[in-house]
Homo-oligomer: A and B are copies of this chain.
Amino acid sequence: MKATIMNPGGAVELAEVPDPTIRRGTDVIVSVVNAAVCGSDLWRYRGETEVTAPTQVGHEFLGVITEVGDDVRSLRKGELVISPFTWSDNTCPECRFGVQSACRNGGHYGALDRDGEPVDGGQGEAVRVPLAEGTLVKVTEYDPEHLPSLLTLADVMGTGWHAAISAKVEPGSVVVVVGDGAVGLCGVLAAASMGAHRIIVMSRNPARQELARQFGATEIVDRRGAEGEAVIAELTNGVGADSVLECVGTKQSMDTALAIVRAGGAIGYVGVPHGVELPVPTMFARNIQIAGGVAPARAYLPQLVDKVVNDVIDPGRVFDLQVPLSEVSEAYRAMDERRAVKSLLQVSDL
C-alpha cells in the first residue's frame, strides 16, 4: 500500500510499504478514507524534533474496517470508524478514569506496539489498529458532508474540547483562547458549546479571526505579549478571564495565559509544552489552577460524534485545504507556510 513516510531531517514522501495484517486477535485493519496533518507533525517536519529513521507518520484518520481479529466482538467489516490519536484498551484504570491518552497498555501510531511490532501511521491507505475495541468509535448514521468534522474528533476537536473542560468553562464564563491554530479554533467552538458568555480570541490572522467569529468568538485581540495582555486586562476591567485555553505550548503563550487569568481562575493547556515554565509563587498568591495535557480524545468521541451528526457543531471548517493522498507533501508545505490552518487528505472513497 501507499503510506506517508517522514525521513530524517523532516522530508515527507509517499512510499510503497507492506500492507498491514492482523497480528493479534484484538487488531482490526482500517482502510483509510480521510486523514489529516497535525500541527504537531510539523515539529518533526521542521527538524525541531529529531527523526532518527524513516517512519510512517500521521495519527488522525477515519475509515472503513476491512479485517477483524478473532477476539474482536463489537466491530465488523464495512463499519465506518474514527480513531483517536492514540490507541488504548479502554479498560485499564487510567482509561476508566477517562484518561485514555495515558492508557497503560496503549501507544502511538507510526510507532512500535508493546510486542515490538510496527503500527502504521494514519497518513496512508490502511492502518492496523491495536486494541481495536478499546480504541475505535463507530459512526452509524451520518451524512458524507460530516466526514471532515468527524475527522477532527480524532485530535483537534477533542483537544480543543479538553482545553475547555480543563479550563473549567461553564455557562456564563469569560474565556480567552490563546492560539488561533486548529486546536485553538476548536477550543472556541467548545467554549461556545459549553455556554461561555464571552470568548476572546488572540489572533492576528484575518482568515482565522473570521473562522473564530463563526465558531462563537465575541471579541478578537490582534496583539501579542505584553500589549495583548494589556488589551485583555482592559476588556475585563482589570479582573482577567475565568478560563484561559492555552493552545500553543510555548513559553510566551503560557506566560500570557498566566498574565490574563483572574485570581482563582483556571488555565487549560493542551499545546505540547516547549520550554514552558510555571511560576509557582505567582500561581500560589493568586490561586491559579492549571490542568490539561495530552487530550483523551477517546473519552470525548461518543458525545462529539453525536454533536456532529446532529449538526450542533461543525469543526470540519478548520480544514481549508483538501488534497489527495498523492499530494501529501503540499499538505505539509501549506501548513508549514501558514497558507493553510489544517490539511485534509482524501485517501479513498467511502
Residues of A within 8 A of B (CB): 93-94, 97-99, 101-102, 166, 237, 239, 262-266, 269, 272-273, 276-278, 280-281, 283-294, 296
Contact = CB atoms under 8 A, between A and B. Distances in A.
B272 A99 contact: no
Contact of A287 (B278, B286, B291): B291
Contacts of A269: 284
Top 4 nearest A-B pairs (CB, nearest first) are: A287-B293, A99-B264, A102-B263, A289-B291
17 contacts: A94-B263, A99-B263, A99-B264, A102-B285, A102-B286, A102-B287, A266-B291, A273-B281, A273-B284, A283-B293, A284-B292, A287-B293, A287-B296, A288-B293, A290-B290, A290-B291, A291-B291
Q: Is the interface of A mostly helix, strand, loop or mixed?
A: mixed
- Copies of this chain per assembly: 2
Given A97-B263, A99-B263, 12 more contacts: A94-B262, A97-B265, A99-B286, A99-B287, A102-B263, A102-B285, A269-B284, A278-B278, A278-B290, A283-B290, A285-B294, A290-B290
Contact of A284 (B239, B281, B285, B294): B294
A264 B93 contact: no
B287 A290 contact: no
A167 to B, nearest CB: 11
A109 to B, nearest CB: 17
A88 to B, nearest CB: 12
Given A102-B286, A273-B281, A278-B278, A264 B294 contact: no
A285 B293 contact: yes
Nearest to A95: B263
Nearest to A287: B293
A94 B288 CA distance: 12
Contacts of A94: 239, 262-264
A296 to B, nearest CB: 7
Residue among A277, A286, A288, A293 with the highest chain B CB neighbour number at 10 A:
A293
Contacts of A166: 289
Contacts of A272: 284
Contacts of A288: 293
A277 B281 CA distance: 10
Contacts of A289: 166, 289-291
Nearest to A282: B293
A240 to B, nearest CB: 9
A135 to B, nearest CB: 17
Given A98-B264, A264-B99, A280 B291 contact: no
Nearest to A272: B284
Contacts of A277: 280
Nearest to A289: B291
Contacts of A101: 287
A168 to B, nearest CB: 10
